[in-house]
Structure 1
């Protein structure tokens, strides 16, 4: 919602200020469709040249995250800690009993309590592979932490592809605006024999290209890239929380200590309250 409000505010301030200063919208509106075609078409075409069709679709899909925000919310961190508490508690008591949950998480009675996590392939991959490796005595905390860092960094790199794509478009838009403006000047020079009032409108139309390229770059696309990167970082923090719990588990800390270490590393705007989480874990333990 804040992103949409920011866009509306930007348009009101820019064009409202222009109108209050005595500007005329007629020239802008008349030139806008053609300038959008030149600048937008060139931007999309250049992006397509440097990327695959799948990347183009993924970028369009990821752009919606600017308005939706992070995939993981505060309540999801709370659910994650409850899930991991149950899993590592079972792992301490009976590693054999854990196998039915990590081998087939889609059929697990524990994972089924947390459907959002159960449906996330990256989260399942980290949780199940790590616990499965630990059951096979691959439980060196330092090696496990290094392996998880590499896996999370790979996921982060893949998800930031859309960020880099949008940023590259933002970097190129001012230059594409100049391309549109130059074409407008060429058009104007072809009508050099026209009276000043006609030439004035043609030159004004040409300058719309320069304005549009800069406006789109710095008021829309670049902020989209910044917001998308922040959203990706928030999503990746969810997987880092999983890593913190599992590495602490490898160090043979008690389950509640494992969760507290992870909880302290969760970003403050997502971090569950200690007392509420502790009470929830007691209830889980009672019904286990």
Structure 2
């Protein structure tokens, strides 16, 4: 909702101010289809040329995330802490039984209790792969931490491909607007014998290209790229919480302390309270 409000406010303030200052929309509307064809077409072609199929495929869904916001909520962070608590407790009390859960999480009642987490392939694999490695005696906390840091870093780099591509597009749009404007000037110079009022409209139409390139770059595409970057980084924090709790477990800390380490690694605006997490853990202990 905030994203939609931001776009609406940008358009209203820019074009509203132009109209209130005495500007005429006729010139812009007349030139808009042709300028958008040149600028938008060139931008789409450059985007396709400079990115692979995966980045292009995920661009639309990435833009959708700008308006939806981050994937994970405070409740989800509490759920992942509860899930890790159950798995770590099981790893210490019954390693053989744990194997059934990490080898087939889709049929695990522990994972099934948290459907949103189970639906996230990256999060589930990060948990199961790390616990599986620990069960195979790859349990040096420092080596595992380095491995997890590299893995999460690679995930983050891949997730940031779309916002980086959008930022590159934003950087190119002003230049593409100049290209459209230059072509408009060329057209105007070919009609230099026309009366001043005709030439004025033609020059105004040419300048629409420069305006559109700059406006689209800094009023739309660059903010989208910046917001998407923020959303991606926020979602990746979910993996950092998993990493923090699992590394604490490899250091042989108490299971409750491992959960608290994970809670402390949660972004402040999404961090569940200590009391709510403890209440949830007590309920798990009571039921289990």
Whole-angstrom CA distance in 1 between matches of 2:33 and 2:287 = 63
SS at match of 2:268: coil
SS at match of 1:266: coil
**CA shift for structure 1 position 112:** 0.3
Aligned residue in 2 for 1:228: 228
- Superposed, 1:133-212 pairs within 5 Å as 133-212=133-212
**CA shift for structure 1 position 120:** 1.0
Q: Which structure 1 residue ranges, 4+ long, deviate > 4 Å from structure 2?
A: none
- Superposed, 1:75-154 pairs within 5 Å as 75-154=75-154
- The total of aligned residue pairs comes to 288
TM-score, length basis structure 2: 0.99
**CA shift for structure 1 position 51:** 1.6
Q: Deviations over 1:191-238 (max 9, x none)?
A: 111111111100000000000000000010000010000001011100
- Superposed, 1:26-37 pairs within 5 Å as 26-37=26-37
Greater Cα offset, 59-68 or 226-235: 59-68
**Cα RMSD for the two superposed structures:** 0.8
- Superposed, 1:13-28 pairs within 5 Å as 13-28=13-28
Whole-angstrom CA distance in 1 between matches of 2:93 and 2:102 = 15
**CA shift for structure 1 position 119:** 1.4
For structure 2, the residue ranges without an aligned partner over 5 or more in a row are none
Q: Deviations over 1:237-257 (max 9, x none)?
A: 000000000000001111110
Aligned residue in 1 for 2:56: 56
Greater Cα offset, 55-64 or 2-11: 55-64
SS at match of 1:202: helix
**CA shift for structure 1 position 142:** 0.3
**CA shift for structure 1 position 52:** 2.2
TM-score, length basis structure 1: 0.99
Aligned residue in 2 for 1:246: 246
Whole-angstrom CA distance in 1 between matches of 2:211 and 2:177 = 7
For structure 1, the residue ranges without an aligned partner over 5 or more in a row are none
Q: Deviations over 1:153-206 (max 9, x none)?
A: 010010100011001100000000000000111111111111111111000000
Whole-angstrom CA distance in 1 between matches of 2:184 and 2:74 = 51
Whole-angstrom CA distance in 2 between matches of 1:79 and 1:29 = 52
